[in-house]
Amino acid sequence: MSAETYDLPPLEATGVPRARQMLERARWASRAFASYDRASVMRIVEAVTRVAEDRAEHYAEWAVRETGFGVVADKVVKNRLCSRGILDAYRDHDYVTHRVDEKQKIVEVPRPAGVVLALTPSTNPVSTLYFKVILSLMTRNAVVVSPHPFAKESCADAARVLAEAAVAAGAPDGVVQVVEEPSIPLIDALMTDERTDVILATGGVGVVRAAYSSGNPAIGVGPGNVPVLVDATADLPRAAAKLVASKAFDNSVLCTNESVLIVEESVADRFLREMSRNGAHVLDDAERDRVRDTLFPEGRFDTGLVGKDAAAIAAKAGVRVAPRTRILVAPFDLAVDEEPLAHEKLCPVLGVTRVPSAHRGIRTAAAVLRIGGAGHSAVIHSKDPRTVMDYAVAVNVLRVAVNEGGSTGSAGFNTGLAPSMTIGTGFAGRSSLGENLQPKHLVNLARIAYSSDVAERFPDFGAMAPWSAPETAVPAYPVASNLDPGSGSARPSLTTVPEDGTSELREELRRLIIEELNTLIRG
């Protein structure tokens, strides 16, 4: 059978050529960007942050409309926290200038990762995109964003807007790119290509495992299942208000939101009444069973209920609640794997179990984390520092929020933790990162180390400037001769190839075309 009887599929259908083109362009941009001085970098970051903040509401509305997850007002808050909030948190940090330690006779020179592949989730799409793009730019990295297919339109538009702002402020063309039509071949090609220097994987377990299996450096995070202990010493009204607000925030799509409430028996009734005053509906046993069956049909969480509000979940379960109900509280007896309510729930349903003492509550929290969420987060409301310490030692997590809501507290927005949308779970959670993702994780330090011999003089490096402002406002991306230089296109066609690595890219394209032809002929 001849190849002429078939129409050849578009080259981009395989995903691989498009991925390789994006990475080659990003590599070129990263090399140019790595020579910028700090003032130039911060000018670019300021411009991108300004645009991101200005469009926080626009993209919050778009993300909810596109995904069906969460609350617009809360996504606005997250978008602002992940734009202006991130810039304000790290404005005085320097990830560009070399550092001199005269006592140790060492000079540390920041070296960017290069090309960052940023995978973003459907639950927090634009806020995570903002966060990863701004971190990449702060550290002079180029970034290729691969959004979740459920949120591809809002994310693609946001990435394009940020890219335009970056280039207008002097960044190299291609420093921010986005996958507009995610596909398995394209994403696989991006993750496994040697031109990808680091993968930032935020999303489901499968996405994170794929990133770690790619052969490239990856920073991924594990799932949460956050226990919250309320002991007899807690400020009950304040704790109730904090807990309900946290669990209701953006309809509980953050992995840092509380999943299981463990409350000391002596204060349990009072605490649940306080929660009711703040918009919680405490389910009776019959209501609890209906909600449980609705959330976990055949024992598996119904992902169609992710980010839905409490009223919608109650209605689907056939439970009547007050119009202003913010969360549903579902009592259960034992924190065991067989109890669905002891598992993570990315919706405003909070499991609750009573314990006779704070000591027993600590053991129960540890049991919840054995079911899921190891390495992630935990919350405690208590005035007893001994209980807080015992809790932190016993629970297998790397962040414990005290007297604060977990959703934003463990993410560093209402606590002294690093503000972040990527929560490292460390060894216990099978993550390469043991803290909240920060700009420093996208930079290595090259160290110039002089002999420690006292006779060895250490020169004065303080006044040296290894980097400088770019000579031109926007370095031009080298394009093929058949691309109209006057078109103003920010995204070259598939025929575009950079001067550096041209033969390699062309050979790869040639090999792929031959493989397709051979497949058709054999068919």
pLDDT single digits (tens) 42-84: 999 999 999 999 999 999 999 999 999 999 999 999 999 999 9
Give the percent of the chain with pLDDT over 70.
87
Contacts for 460-465: CB closer than 8 Å, 24+ residues apart = 461/98, 461/100, 461/107, 462/100, 464/98, 465/37
How many CB atoms within 10 Å of residue 149? 14
**In this model, does residue 5 exceed pLDDT 60?**
no
pLDDT at 426: 94
List the single range of 17-21, 157-161, 270-274, 334-338 with lowest mean pLDDT.
17-21
pLDDT greater than 90 at residue 114: yes
In the predicted model, is pLDDT for residue 11 greater than 60?
A: no
When the pLDDT of each residue in the chain is averaged and rounded to a whole number, the result is 89
Q: What is the mean pLDDT of residues 408-417?
A: 96
Which pLDDT score, from 0 to 100, does residue 458 have? 95
pLDDT at 204 over 90: no
Residue 463 confidence class, pLDDT cut points 50, 70, 90: confident
Domains 15-221+438-449 and 226-409 share a fold: no
**pLDDT category of residue 462 using cuts at 50, 70 and 90:** confident
Average the pLDDT over 400-425 and give the result.
Answer: 96
Which entry of 82, 155, 255, 347 is annotated as an active-site residue?
255
d(Cα 234, Cα 134) in Å, to the nearest integer?
A: 38
The H-assigned helical ranges of 358-497 are 358-371, 385-394, 406-409
Please report the pLDDT score of residue 141 as a whole number: 98
User: Rounded to whole angstroms, how far apart are CA atoms 93 and 257?
Assistant: 29
Q: Would you list the domain boundaries of the chain? A: 15-221+438-449, 226-409
Is the per-residue pLDDT at 506 higher than 70?
A: no
Which of 51, 53, 126 has the alpha carbon at shortest distance from 84? 53
The reported pLDDT for the residue numbered 16 is 82
Tell me what the mean pLDDT of segment 343-355 comes to. 97
Percent of the chain with pLDDT over 90: 79
Under 8 Å between Cβ of 292 and 282: no
Nearest alpha-carbon partner for 91 in 43, 128, 132, 32: 43
Instruction: Give the separation between CA 411 and CA 131, rounded to whole angstroms.
Output: 12
pLDDT at 511 over 80: no
For 187-201, 434-448, 495-509, which range has the lowest pLDDT when averaged over its residues? 495-509
Q: Give the model's pLDDT for residue 241.
A: 98
Asked if pLDDT for residue 499 goes beyond 60, the answer is no
**pLDDT-derived band of residue 113, with 50, 70 and 90 as boundaries?**
very high
**Averaging pLDDT over each range in 15-19, 154-158, 515-519, which range is the top one?**
154-158
Residue 466 binned pLDDT confidence (cut-offs 50, 70, 90): confident
Whole-angstrom distance, CA of residue 344 vs CA of residue 270: 25
Position 473 scores a pLDDT of: 60
Query: The domain at 15-221+438-449 falls in which architecture?
Result: 3-Layer(aba) Sandwich (3.40)
Question: Buried b / exposed e across 171-180, counting CB within 10 Å, b at 16+?
Answer: bbbbbbbbbb
The pTM assigned to this predicted structure is: 0.88
Q: Quickly state the pLDDT bin for 500 (edges 50, 70, 90).
A: very low
pLDDT band of 208, cuts 50, 70, 90: confident
- The yes-or-no answer on residue 347 being catalytic is no
Name the fold adopted by 226-409: Aldehyde Dehydrogenase; Chain A, domain 2 (3.40.309)
Read off the pLDDT of residues 132-172 as tens digits, 9 standing for 90 and up.
Answer: 999 999 999 999 999 999 999 999 999 999 999 999 999 99
Is residue 254's pLDDT more than 50?
yes
The band of 498, judged by pLDDT with boundaries at 50, 70 and 90, is very low
Q: How would you label 213-252 residue by residue, b for 16+ Cβ within 10 Å and e otherwise? A: ebebebbbbbbbbbbbbbbbebebeebbbbbbbbbbbbbb
Strand partners, 111: 444
Res 475: pLDDT: 60
Task: Name the pLDDT band for 202 (thresholds 50, 70, 90).
Answer: confident
Contact 409, 246 (CB under 8 A): yes
- Tally Cβ neighbours within 10 Å of residue 372: 18
Does residue 7 have a pLDDT over 50?
A: no
Distances (CA, A) of 495 to 127, 178, 442: 33, 18, 31
Query: Which residue has 């119904």 as its token pair?
Result: 302
Q: Which residues pair with 30 in a beta bridge?
A: none
Whether residue 203 is predicted with pLDDT greater than 80 in this model: the reply is no
Would you state the pLDDT for residue 12? 44
Distance CA 418, CA 421 (A): 10
Q: Please tell me the least confidently modeled range out of 217-221, 241-245, 255-259, 471-475.
A: 471-475
R_g of the chain computed on alpha carbons: 26
- Residue 504's pLDDT is what? 55
Mean pLDDT over 172-197 rounds to 93
Question: Is residue 483 scored above 90 in pLDDT?
Answer: no
> Is 352 or 492 the better-scoring residue by pLDDT?
352
Question: Which of 19-33, 233-247, 298-312, 493-507 is the least confident region?
Answer: 493-507
> So what's the pLDDT on residue 358?
98
Confidence (pLDDT) at 470: 81
